[in-house]
Amino acid sequence: MDNNLLSGLESLGLGNLEGLDIYEDPHKDEKKQEEAAAPKEEDMLFDKSYTCTVCDKDFKVKMVRSGKAKAMAADQDLRPRYEGIDVLKYDVVSCPYCGYTGLSKYFSYLTPAQRKAIKENICSSYKPKKVDPDKKIYTYEEAMERHKLALVNAIVKHGKASEKAYICLKTGWILRGQREALEADAPDYEKKKQELESAENQFLKNAYDGFVTARASESFPICGMDEMTVDYLLATLAMRFEEYETAAKLLGSIVTSRTANARIKDRAHDLKDVLMEKLKEKR
């Protein structure tokens, strides 16, 4: 028997009405309005013009419009979240002609020696990719490629440990976003999810090691972060890799600090509670 209560109306010329719901959702129109009002990723972007610091050619990259993306609560390790867009996909500037690539905050600054190293080790071998003028957004795969290019450029130019660590951190966050965006019914979902999680851990471990080095050898602020923020970030990463003693020491210094702001102290208190639970589980 047909489970559609309105089946058979086709013979009367009303087949297009057979799928109607008997009891209409009273909030249907509100939901449609909310969906229509939801911001689209491409609407939050614009093409920003750059002149390459290495080859002097002009090009454009997609950037997030200031004030367009609505901030949501950040992850425990400070990964930013925004409604309708992953802004992390748009924080790398890559020259499509010579391959010079960097995080937006570092892109325009190179010493003559760094420029020479990039020309010899990146530009000499780089194969330019055709730019699609109609492209509206960057995919996660494209964002990953751009971040890896930024990392290899930072290595080649002998960038600071903090710069390389920051790229690794953001790449780990990109992988997390990609994993969260996976469709549960996609082919090989579990396998792909595990691969992305494994890659995320690898990048975050390198970020952790790099920030440990940077904290001991560089002046604050580091990547725009003050000492307490860096210590909090290190504590979250230390916990991730089960270095609980290090995490406890860092969190203790934050919660007793007279200079730490209230926001980072609150985060440190919350993270300390999580740490205590993990330590109980280990006993």
Report the DSSP beta bridge partners of residue 58: 51
The position carrying tokens 């702001």 is 261
In a domain, 133, yes or no: no
Question: Taking residues 65-88, what's their average pLDDT?
Answer: 95
In a domain, 55, yes or no: no
Question: Taking residues 128-147, what's their average pLDDT?
Answer: 91
The per-residue pLDDT for 231 is: 98
Both structure tokens of 261: 């702001």
What's the chain's Rg over C-alpha atoms? 24
In a domain, 263, yes or no: yes
Domain that includes residue 31, residue range: 1-38
Q: How far is CA 114 from CA 95, 99, 130, 155, in A?
A: 16, 14, 26, 10
The position carrying tokens 């937006």 is 104
The position carrying tokens 């589980």 is 281
The secondary structure of residue 120, as a DSSP letter, is: I
Residue 180 has pLDDT above 90, yes or no: yes
In a domain, 21, yes or no: yes
The per-residue pLDDT for 207 is: 98
Alpha-carbon span 189 to 105, nearest angstrom: 35
Both structure tokens of 32: 């449609």
Question: Taking residues 221-243, what's their average pLDDT?
Answer: 97
Q: How confident is the model at residue 2 (pLDDT cuts 50, 70, 90)?
A: low
The per-residue pLDDT for 282 is: 77
pTM for this predicted structure? 0.86
Per the structure, how many domains does the chain have? Answer: 2
Q: How many CB atoms lie within 10 A of CB 100?
A: 27
The position carrying tokens 């996609």 is 186
The position carrying tokens 């009405």 is 17
Alpha-carbon span 195 to 199, nearest angstrom: 6
Q: How confident is the model at residue 5 (pLDDT cuts 50, 70, 90)?
A: confident
If one compares 40 and 6, the residue with the highest pLDDT of the two is 40
In a domain, 183, yes or no: no
> What SS3 class is residue 158?
coil
In a domain, 98, yes or no: no
In a domain, 247, yes or no: yes
Range scoring the smallest mean pLDDT among 126-130, 150-154, 230-234, 238-242: 126-130
